[in-house]
Structure 1
């Protein structure tokens, strides 16, 4: 992970929680304590954060400077933070179920698949139990692993890593290392943003890293997204528009649905 990416992730975590501990950053970013100490010192010198005992908080009246390519700290049109995972579980339920049903038709019996953690992929997992047979499923979602492990003809692997209790999933260097060991038929990814020029993106670096690794180690790449994600450019890029094979989305006439190099599957709600 580049220095500017770590800095952006540190600021994001402090913004969300009000404070972050050094121990949490060491574990969450899978770097040494000395690296985090240096990052916090640099951010404090730039007026972005204030170091406190055991961690850091946002600086009062801060004037942060963005750094590196595609800066995200002070970007004028920086997207707002996502709603919590629990909030998103209860949003767009009909759309997610319709999208999940269509996505299931793309999966052949006996396939090996990656599924990332998200509320739309969770709906996909529920739908999958009545669809394809004999699947090998690899996921970082603890909840998805639990749902699909009940299928007697499925082989389910939960990726190792650092558990995130808010999303109920694993992230970090161990998660990425585990993904590198496999090559599967399909990756099923649910991003925060689907932009026809910028590509597909997530709000959190940890989620983008997992999605990117899964896509890199799969033959076909499937994106699940409801129409409100169209035209959205979130904080961390996952991949370019040309990198995906299928986009499954609820029925929409949005002009932002402009992905000529992939197959678009529209899900119609009953």
Structure 2
């Protein structure tokens, strides 16, 4: 697949995430592409399980136990995620030990770590680990948790890294999640949920970085109550969402 086709697919998926349902004519107008080109992109997205084509259009259809592929997660809603990462970066200082999950949202904090010295960074994200070793200071260390490699999530899961986790302290853990409401944070993948829950219980403090598109979205597996996080950082929040969350025992930043 060439770069323009990949970009077009990302654009189509983002449009359907925003509108949930669009006609072929609407998508063609919004992406400035022909019906034939549009059809090829929609067929690919349907094969990957992200959408369902219907008569005259398409609807978003991400199964509740299916994670959106890493390539999409790293690019969708980039500006929102960059804003969230900028706020989260203020919690990080020299000499800290960090856990970064494999999410596209948390990955946006990586550039801020390039000048922070003497960090110990643990991650289960394949791309996250690679990007970290490109920018880290010479006195910082990056550790990758071993486990079963998950294609869509570009990460590892499982209990293979338990011995290592038992031997290390974590000052701050940074997470994103696939769904959020006033009752808590939710995950689409059971193994991801179990690993993140273990890290939350181990870390001295945990921060949830989640863009506003995740609010009100429920997934099968509950990760934690919002009170488990020191702060929830987002890009925007409605008055109703703020009212729903105001009694949660965590700081809300946006």
What is the distance in 2 between the residues matched to 1:254 and 1:178?
Answer: 43
Partner in structure 2 of residue 142 of structure 1: 126
Structure 1 residue 204: Cα displacement: 0.3
What is the distance in 2 between the residues matched to 1:203 and 1:166?
Answer: 12
What is the distance in 2 between the residues matched to 1:141 and 1:220?
Answer: 20
What is the distance in 1 between the residues matched to 2:163 and 2:224?
Answer: 19
Structure 1 residue 111: Cα displacement: 0.5
What is the distance in 2 between the residues matched to 1:114 and 1:178?
Answer: 13
Q: Secondary structure at the match of 2:172?
A: strand
Partner in structure 1 of residue 55 of structure 2: none
Q: Secondary structure at the match of 2:219?
A: coil
Structure 1 residue 171: Cα displacement: 1.1
Structure 1 residue 80: Cα displacement: 7.3
What is the distance in 1 between the residues matched to 2:130 and 2:224?
Answer: 28
State the TM-score, normalizing by the size of structure 1: 0.64
Question: Structure 1, residues 64-99: CA drift from partner, whole Å, max 9, x if none?
Answer: xxxxxxxxxxxxxx8474432222222101001111
Q: Secondary structure at the match of 2:199?
A: helix
Structure 1 residue 250: Cα displacement: 0.3
Given that residues 68 and 153 in structure 2 are in contact (C-alpha distance below 8 angstroms), is that contact kept between their aligned partners in structure 1?
no
Partner in structure 2 of residue 157 of structure 1: 143
Partner in structure 2 of residue 56 of structure 1: none
What is the distance in 2 between the residues matched to 1:138 and 1:80?
Answer: 26
Q: Secondary structure at the match of 2:102?
A: coil
Identify the match of residue 83 of structure 1 among 30, 51, 68.
Answer: 68
Partner in structure 2 of residue 218 of structure 1: 203
Structure 1 gap segments, 5+ residues each: 1-77
Q: Which moved more, 1:118-127 or 1:106-115?
A: 118-127
Question: Structure 1, residues 22-56: CA drift from partner, whole Å, max 9, x if none?
Answer: xxxxxxxxxxxxxxxxxxxxxxxxxxxxxxxxxxx
1:238-257 mapped onto 2 (5 Å cutoff)? 238-257=223-242
In terms of fraction of residues, the more helix-rich structure is 2
Structure 1 residue 196: Cα displacement: 0.9
Given that residues 65 and 189 in structure 2 are in contact (C-alpha distance below 8 angstroms), is that contact kept between their aligned partners in structure 1?
no
- Tell me the number of residue pairs that the alignment of Structure 1 and Structure 2 aligns: 187
Identify the match of residue 175 of structure 1 among 154, 158, 161.
Answer: 161
1:1-270 mapped onto 2 (5 Å cutoff)? 79=64, 81-130=66-115, 132-150=116-134, 151=136, 152-197=138-183, 199-257=184-242, 258-259=245-246, 260-266=248-254
Given that residues 182 and 217 in structure 1 are in contact (C-alpha distance below 8 angstroms), is that contact kept between their aligned partners in structure 2?
no
Q: Secondary structure at the match of 2:80?
A: helix
Q: Secondary structure at the match of 1:133?
A: coil
State the TM-score, normalizing by the size of structure 2: 0.68
Question: Structure 1, residues 185-236: CA drift from partner, whole Å, max 9, x if none?
Answer: 1010111112112x11110001111111111110111000001111222111
